[in-house]
Chain A
Amino acid sequence: MKARCEMKSVWKIAFVLGFSLLLFVVDKAVSSEQTPDVQTIVNKANIVAYYQGEDGKAKVKMTITSKQGQKRVREFNILRKDVTDGGDQNYFVYFQKPPDVRKMAYMVHKHADPAKDDDRWLYLPALSLVKRIAAGDKRTSFVGSDFLYEDVSGRSLQEDTHELIETTDQLFIVKNVPKQPDTVEFNYYTVSIDRKTYVPMKMEFYDKGDKLYRIIESKKVEKIQDFYTVAQSVVSNLKSGSKTEMEFNDVKYNLGLKDSIFTERYLQRPPREAMR
């Protein structure tokens, strides 16, 4: 038994070494490449952040901590399926906590075209009611947290102009300026994108007086089914003093989710994938 364990460990070490070597090679290859243009960077980062695989699932735990230290917790499962890579997407969110929103389901048909509003539905289980929600301001808090709707489902790349302002050993730093500044509360924001993985590691939002007031950080990144995945992220609101931590567990990609999941039928009774 012991011998077998040792054998296993040896294999593990060999595997890790081999893998690291591979990464090193890839790393070299990447760094020797020429710096891609800013559009390529933001496109890639957008895919990595919101469009990994054909579809995906995660169990999300959100902890909202107010300035006074009061904590509120939301737990929900999220299912996503892409209509087109980098374009339209469907989301299904099934709430488990807190108890007053348990079994509530929220569905979005997201449209990448900024001229077309997203379609949103909400299912209220106590009334057995499927409600259509007006496509509101996307920069509104998502379920009372410091994350905004737009942070969860992604801000359309077409809404901003992008400029690569700095390249470090690890990061591309891109400055994004809104094309329609009246529609948002920020003046601009910067995104620090990992050069290797293209995971956005940090987003910093500056207000109309160019003062930093909001930070979103990727605290933990894991590789799941070959896809780099943010496993933990935190948003800090420097103005209100509150922060929200989002943990992603049981992340899976390419589950083969059916298109029909994103319809009224499943809103009324969610698919098993969303319940578990």
Chain B
Amino acid sequence: MIRFRITIALAIIWFATWTAMPLLAAASDENAEAEESFFSKLPIETHGFYEVRGGYRLQDDKYEKDMSIMEGRFQFDLFSYFDWGDVKVKGDVLGDLVTEEGDFDLREANVFTRPTDFMDVKVGRQILTWGTGDLIFINDLFPKDWQSFFIGRDTEYLKAPSDAAKVSLFGDQANLDIAYTPRFDPDRYISGERISYWNSNLGMTARQDAIVHTDEPDDWFSDSEIAARLYKNIDNYELAFYGYSGYWKSPGGQNAAMKAIFPDLNVYGASLRGSVGKGIGNAEIGYYESTEDQSGRNPMINNSEMRYLIGYTCEIAKDFTMGLQYYIEQMLDYDQYKRNLPSRPARDRYRQLTTLRLTKLLMNQNLRCSLFTYYSPTDSDVYMRPNVNYKVSDNMAVEVGSNIFFGNKPNTFFGQFQDNTNIYAGLRYSF
């Protein structure tokens, strides 16, 4: 992400322009048609959207702004295809009133080609996803943007881009994907910049007064990541094996200088997905090998873990679907962890998490009401994501939603974000 400091005034101007844009565009259909005919002459498909989105915290957080999100965004999406392959460039320009900065976030810039019958190659900035979880990731170790997720941006922003080369091989027996990232792409993790979090060093909730400082592996080629997936469809049951070699994607330890670090990590896993009864069942497992702390003795480095997930989705009524998941994170060297832990609240050996997704479509599927809830019985915390989205027309959509956190303890995964409970609304004009 390229960030540039701008004056508040400029941000406001941007904000105002983008607010007006959709209305102007909607008002003058003739102009829209003229624009279309101009672009249609180019060999490039030009699309994108304008969006304004604003939201507030529902409670005071002394060190964070009341505004949880306030931004104008313009996304352009350029696509062109040739005999030899496709070229895609997608980027967001945004004026952010919370950080008082302008941003350019290049989401995708890649070349895709199908050099042979059995091979696909995609090189450049791209969004990568695999695995079977719904907003729970075990073997998907591609970067996530938790900050965007928690402040109420569109779900697409949960996936942060990777600068990678992905090679896919297709065979009669199985298919293989290999994604090579020459320089580590960490998550866009919670740093305190706009979301307060539990800082275990301070033993308290930290905010802008204690922004996470990190020592990030960032050398080209020596700090690389590699992820692979071997998969096969057996009678429409999708079986996959995964491997990853890289780093914990969000800070997973500390160095002597008290900086957050991303320790080495290898992950080995498998998943299965297919129809079960009237719905879709999925199961996934992953072994997280925290190689810098094999014994689990080092309290400054994440323990190795086993992660397990089981899920089921089905339609419970017309245009009404329900998804359930049960997830466990098991610390593998828990006794060592406990023994070496300085006096601070300890994690559970087994962190359990359940999720429930309810989605109902109404008004000819133009109105979507959804609620996604994470509930951890071991952490006693909850994160709820209600959202209502209405497509006013083929181009215009409005939505309101909320991110609700609560918990009994200030240090649990979701409980730490209690002061960040927010409500937001957005308007998007797509073209």
Query: What are the residues of chain A within 8 A of B295 when measuring CB–CB?
Result: none
How far, in Å, is B138 (CB) from chain A's closest CB?
15
Query: What are the residues of chain A within 8 A of B236 when measuring CB–CB?
Result: 109, 119
Give Cα A137 to B158, complex, Å.
30
Q: Contact: A134 with B81, CB < 8 Å? A: no
How far, in Å, is B396 (CB) from chain A's closest CB?
10
Q: Contact: A134 with B112, CB < 8 Å? A: no
Q: Mark B149-190, 1 if CB is under 8 A from A, else 0.
A: 000001110110000000010100001000000000000000
Q: Contact: A128 with B364, CB < 8 Å? A: no
Contact among B112, B156, B314, B315 for A126, CB-based, below 8 A? B156
Query: What are the residues of chain A within 8 A of B279 when measuring CB–CB?
Result: 134-135
Give Cα A100 to B391, complex, Å.
10
Q: Judge if B17 is at the interface, Cβ distance under 8 Å.
A: no
| A265-B168 contact given A100-B397, A128-B126, CB 8 Å threshold | yes
| A72-B393 contact given A134-B280, A144-B364, CB 8 Å threshold | yes
* Chain B, residue nearest A271 (CB): B114
Interface size on B, residues (CB 8 A): 47
Q: Judge if A133 is at the interface, Cβ distance under 8 Å.
A: yes
Q: Contact: A132 with B280, CB < 8 Å? A: yes
Query: What are the residues of chain A within 8 A of B313 when measuring CB–CB?
Result: 132, 134
* Chain A, residue nearest B140 (CB): A129
Q: Contact: A97 with B394, CB < 8 Å? A: yes
Dominant SS among interface residues on chain B: strand
Contact among B159, B282, B318 for A128, CB-based, below 8 A? B159
Q: Judge if B321 is at the interface, Cβ distance under 8 Å.
A: yes
Query: What are the residues of chain B within 8 A of A32 when measuring CB–CB?
Result: none
Q: Judge if B120 is at the interface, Cβ distance under 8 Å.
A: yes
Q: Judge if B365 is at the interface, Cβ distance under 8 Å.
A: yes
How far, in Å, is A85 (CB) from chain B's closest CB?
21
Q: Judge if A73 is at the interface, Cβ distance under 8 Å.
A: yes
Query: What are the residues of chain B within 8 A of A143 when measuring CB–CB?
Result: 365
Contact among A73, A127, A137, A141 for B365, CB-based, below 8 A? A141
Which positions 111-126 of chain B face chain A at CB distance < 8 Å?
112, 114, 120, 126
Q: Contact: B364 with A141, CB < 8 Å? A: yes
Q: Judge if B57 is at the interface, Cβ distance under 8 Å.
A: no
Contact among A137, A139, A265 for B170, CB-based, below 8 A? A265
* Chain A, residue nearest B389 (CB): A100
Q: Contact: B394 with A269, CB < 8 Å? A: no
Which positions 29-76 of chain B face chain A at CB distance < 8 Å?
47, 49
Query: What are the residues of chain B within 8 A of A73 when measuring CB–CB?
Result: 394
Q: Judge if A40 is at the interface, Cβ distance under 8 Å.
A: no
Report the number of A-B residue pairs with Cβ-Cβ less than 8 Å.
Answer: 97
| A275-B81 contact given A134-B321, A135-B278, A143-B365, CB 8 Å threshold | yes
Q: Mark B326-354, 1 if CB is under 8 A from A, else 0.
A: 00000000000000000000000000000
| A260-B159 contact given A99-B47, A117-B275, A128-B127, CB 8 Å threshold | no
How far, in Å, is A104 (CB) from chain B's closest CB?
12
Query: What are the residues of chain A within 8 A of B321 when measuring CB–CB?
Result: 134, 136
| A102-B47 contact given A132-B280, A134-B315, A141-B319, CB 8 Å threshold | yes
How far, in Å, is A209 (CB) from chain B's closest CB?
20
| A137-B280 contact given A117-B275, A128-B127, A265-B120, CB 8 Å threshold | no
Q: Contact: A260 with B170, CB < 8 Å? A: yes
Q: Contact: B275 with A119, CB < 8 Å? A: yes
Give Cα A145 to B393, complex, Å.
14
Give Cα A254 to B394, complex, Å.
34
* Chain B, residue nearest A72 (CB): B394
Q: Judge if B233 is at the interface, Cβ distance under 8 Å.
A: yes
* Chain A, residue nearest B365 (CB): A144
Q: Judge if A197 is at the interface, Cβ distance under 8 Å.
A: no
Q: Contact: A128 with B319, CB < 8 Å? A: no
Query: What are the residues of chain A within 8 A of B273 when measuring CB–CB?
Result: 132
Q: Judge if B128 is at the interface, Cβ distance under 8 Å.
A: yes
Give Cα A160 to B126, complex, Å.
48
Query: What are the residues of chain B within 8 A of A140 when measuring CB–CB?
Result: 318-319
Which positions 133-187 of chain A face chain B at CB distance < 8 Å?
133-137, 139-141, 143-145
| A137-B394 contact given A99-B431, A264-B233, A265-B168, CB 8 Å threshold | no
Query: What are the residues of chain A within 8 A of B397 when measuring CB–CB?
Result: 100
Give Cα A86 to B400, complex, Å.
46
* Chain B, residue nearest A98 (CB): B394
Q: Judge if A64 is at the interface, Cβ distance under 8 Å.
A: yes
* Chain A, residue nearest B321 (CB): A134
Q: Contact: B127 with A127, CB < 8 Å? A: yes
Q: Judge if B395 is at the interface, Cβ distance under 8 Å.
A: yes
How far, in Å, is B417 (CB) from chain A's closest CB?
23
Q: Judge if B408 is at the interface, Cβ distance under 8 Å.
A: no
Give Cα A263 to B278, complex, Å.
22
How far, in Å, is A263 (CB) from chain B's closest CB?
7
Q: Judge if B7 is at the interface, Cβ distance under 8 Å.
A: no
* Chain A, residue nearest B131 (CB): A129
Q: Judge if A242 is at the interface, Cβ distance under 8 Å.
A: yes
Q: Mark A87-117, 1 if CB is under 8 A from B, else 0.
A: 0000000000111101000000100000001
Q: Judge if B378 is at the interface, Cβ distance under 8 Å.
A: no
| A98-B364 contact given A127-B129, A127-B159, CB 8 Å threshold | no
Give Cα A269 to B81, complex, Å.
12
How far, in Å, is A180 (CB) from chain B's closest CB?
15
Q: Which of A117, A127, A132 has the most CB of B within 10 A?
A: A132
Give Cα A98 to B319, complex, Å.
20
Report 13 cross-chain contacts, Cβ distance below 8 Å, ordered by A residue. Answer: A98-B395, A99-B395, A100-B391, A100-B428, A109-B236, A126-B154, A134-B315, A140-B319, A144-B364, A144-B365, A265-B168, A269-B112, A269-B120
Q: Which 3 A-B pairs give the minimum distances between C-beta atoms?
A: A144-B365, A98-B394, A136-B315
